[in-house]
Structure formats: structure tokens, C-alpha cells
């Protein structure tokens, strides 16, 4: 069953806003090259896809307040970011 948040995300008529980003020309050129190879109509659609992928990953990591508190507690105790990232990857694979 879909969560209310996911139902909202899938709605076609949700409000939109325009933003301006300063992105290096070579990055835009790379986006334009990769977009058709990944089946996107243009580089802006690919960019939105990248943002969505990263956002979904981060929301999954931080959606649980308990997970966020655990990560914060481990950071305060000196657990390196690399160890936390590796543990997170392993947890998502399992």
C-alpha cells in the first residue's frame, strides 16, 4: 500500500515552482550527452531524475527518527562517516 507521501509524489497535478541553478557548462554538456542514452527527452528531465533518486535515498535513510538519532549518536562518538556510509550500504543491500 502506498504511503500518503508517495501518493502525493505521484500526483500529476501537484504544484510546481521554477528555480535557477548555476551549473558548470561542462556538467550541462555531460547531462545533454547522457540524457538520450538513458531514454530522457532532455537534460533537465535527467537532472530532475538525479535529484529524485538522491532525495528518495536520503529520505529512506532519514525517514525514521530513530535512524537519524542513531547516526547522530554514532557520529558524536567518533564513528567515521566512511564506516557509517558502508554500514548503511550493507543494510540496504540486505
Residue-range domain boundaries for the chain: 23-60, 64-94
Q: What are the pLDDT tens digits along the chain (94 aa)? A: 556 666 666 677 888 899 999 999 999 999 999 999 999 999 999 999 999 999 888 877 766 677 777 888 888 999 988 888 888 777 765 4
Identify the three-state secondary structure at position 36. Answer: helix
Q: What burial letters (b/e) apply to 60-82, b meaning 16+ CB within 10 Å? A: ebeeeeeeeeebeeeeeeeeeee
pLDDT value, residue 32: 97
Surface-to-core class of residue 47, CB atoms within 10 Å of its CB (0-12 exposed, 13-18 middle, 19+ buried): middle
Amino acid at each position: 500500500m502506498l504511503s500518503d507521501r508517495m501518493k502525493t509524489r505521484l500526483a500529476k497535478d501537484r504544484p510546481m515552482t521554477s528555480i535557477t541553478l548555476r551549473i558548470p557548462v561542462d556538467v550541462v554538456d555531460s547531462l545533454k550527452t547522457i540524457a538520450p542514452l538513458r531514454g530522457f527527452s532532455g537534460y533537465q528531465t535527467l537532472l530532475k531524475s538525479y535529484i529524485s533518486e538522491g532525495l528518495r535515498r536520503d529520505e529512506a535513510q532519514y525517514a525514521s527518527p530513530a535512524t537519524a538519532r542513531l547516526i547522530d549518536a554514532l557520529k558524536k562518538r567518533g564513528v567515521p562517516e566512511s564506516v557509517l556510509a558502508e554500514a548503511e550500504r550493507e543494510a540496504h543491500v540486505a
